[in-house]
Copies of this chain bind each other. A is one copy, B any other.
Amino acid sequence: MKPKNAFYAQSGGVTAVINASAAGVIETARKQRRHIGRVFAGRDGIIGALTEDLIDTSKEPASAIARLKTTPGGAFGSCRYKLKGIEENHAQFERMIEVFRAHDIGYFFYNGGNDSADTAWKVSQVGEKLGYPLICVGIPKTVDNDLAITDNCPGFGSVAKYVATSIREAGFDVASMAKTSTRIFVMEVMGRHAGWITAACGLAADEEGDAPQILLFPEIQFDEEKFLARVRQVVERDGWCAVAVSEGLRNKDGELMSESGLKDAFGHSQLGGAGQIVAKLIKDRLGYKYHWALADYLQRAARHIASKVDVEQSYKLGVAAVKLAIAGRNAVMPVIERLSNKPYRWRIGVAKLADVANREKMMPRDFITADGFHITPKCRIYLSPLIQGEAPPPYKNGLPDYVKLKNEPVPKKLPAFKV
C-alpha cells in the first residue's frame, strides 16, 4: 500500500526556532518512506489546507531543510486563524477533508500554541466524526511559554536568552552614562498574560546592582507609588536603574497600561506601550533622564542568539511528532519533561491535545518575590537551564545566512474555496 502523505503547518506568532521543528518533521519523515510519502506544508498555515495551497517540501534539497534549524520565522508562512468546531463549521472541515483526500494526506502536524492545540484537537476528531482517517499530532511552540503540561515551550528559551542578554548589555551602557546623563533604562518585552519573558530578563541579575534591578510583571498590578519609591531607592544605591516591563502590565483597576495610559499635565490621555508609559512616569515624577527600548519582533526572531537547548528541543519535538504519528497515536502532542535541574536533563513525553487546548500556564506566585519586583531563586532554577548553550547560525558577508526555501506549490486538483 502506498504510504500516505503528511500535512505540516505553522500557526500563530512565529519564533526563532519553529523552523527547527519543521526540520525535525521533514527530515524524520524522509527517513520513513515506508510510512510517510511526501510532506506538504500549508502555505500560511491552516489556510493552505483550506485553499489547497500546499507546498511540496520534497522539492527542497536536504541541505535546505537542514538550514531550517538555523533560520528564524516561519518558512512556509503562518497565520492567526482559529477554526470553529466541526459542528459549527461543517463546510470548512468538509473542504479540508476534500483537500486531504485529493492529496492523499493521512497525517496532520500542527505546530503552534494554545489556539493551535485547540485547532489540532478539533482536526483530530475528523476520523471519528466525519469518517476520514487522519492521524493528528500537535507540536508545541510559543514564546509565551504558557502551554499546559509541557515543562517549557519551544521558542521561549531563545527569547529568554535574547532578553536577558539585551538587558544585561544595556545595563552596562546605562551604568556608564549615569553620572551626567541617562540614569534609567526601560525595556518592554512580550507576554500579554503571563510574565515568563519578563522573568527571563531577571536571569541577567546575578547579584544586587546588576541589571535589571526591577521587573514589572503582568501578574502584579502596577502600584505607581511603590514602584517610584523602589526606583528612587535603586538609583540612590546604584546610580542608575534598569527596568524590564511586560507589555501586559496592568494598573490597579486591572486595565492594560497600554490601553488605559496615563494622564498628562493637561488631563489628556497619553497612550503608548507599557514601557514608554513607565519610562515617562519616572521622568515626570523623579526627574531622571531615561532611555527606553521596545524589542518587539526582534526578541522572538533573534535566531543569532538562540538557546542551544531550545533549538535541540524544538528539533526533537518535530522528530517525536512524526514517530508518534507513525505509531498511530492520534490527538496527541509531544512535550518536554524535565528530569533534573542540575545537571539539566529532559526527555520527550506525550500529552493529549484535549488536555493542552485552551489552557494557559501562568507563572506560579512563588516565582515572583514577595514585593512583586523580581524573580525568586526557585524561578531561576526553573528558567536557567532553558537558555543554556549557543547555537549560532552560519554567517555570510558578516550577517546570519538564513535560508529562503523555494516553496514550490503542489499542483491544485480542486476548485477554489474562499476562506
Contact = CB atoms under 8 A, between A and B. Distances in A.
Interface of A: 10, 13-14, 16, 44-45, 47, 71-75, 77-81, 161, 164-166, 168-181, 185, 187, 203-204, 268, 272, 276, 291-298, 300-305, 307, 384, 387-390, 392, 395, 397-400, 402
A320 B291 CA distance: 34
Contact of A14 (B173, B297, B300): B173
A307 B398 contact: yes
B161 A78 contact: no
Contact of A399 (B187, B203, B293, B302): B203
Contacts of A298: 166, 169-170, 187, 293, 295, 298
A294 B294 CA distance: 5
A176 B302 contact: no
Given A174-B297, A294-B294, 10 more contacts: A14-B173, A73-B173, A75-B176, A168-B399, A173-B300, A187-B298, A204-B399, A272-B276, A295-B298, A384-B397
A297 B180 contact: no
B293 A161 contact: no
Contacts of A272: 272, 276
A303 B304 CA distance: 13
A181 B47 CA distance: 13
Chain A binding surface, main DSSP class: mixed
A338 to B, nearest CB: 16
12 contacts: A45-B179, A47-B179, A74-B177, A79-B180, A164-B398, A165-B399, A168-B400, A169-B303, A169-B400, A169-B402, A204-B399, A388-B398
A304 B268 contact: no
Contacts of A77: 175-176, 178-179
A44 B178 CA distance: 9
A298 B172 CA distance: 10
B400 A80 contact: no
Given A173-B301, A293-B298, A390 B384 contact: no
In the complex, the 7 A-B pairs of residues with the closest C-beta atoms, listed nearest first:
A73-B172, A74-B176, A387-B398, A44-B179, A169-B301, A293-B296, A173-B301
A291 B301 CA distance: 13
A292 B295 CA distance: 8
Given A169-B304, A305-B304, A13 B399 contact: no
Contact of A176 (B73, B161, B178, B384): B73
Contact of A172 (B72, B181, B387): B72
A180 B47 contact: yes
A33 to B, nearest CB: 29
B392 A397 contact: no
A398 B388 CA distance: 4
A419 to B, nearest CB: 9
A19 to B, nearest CB: 9
A50 B90 CA distance: 79
B291 A78 contact: no
Most B Cβ at <10 Å: residue of A185, A268, A298, A302 = A298
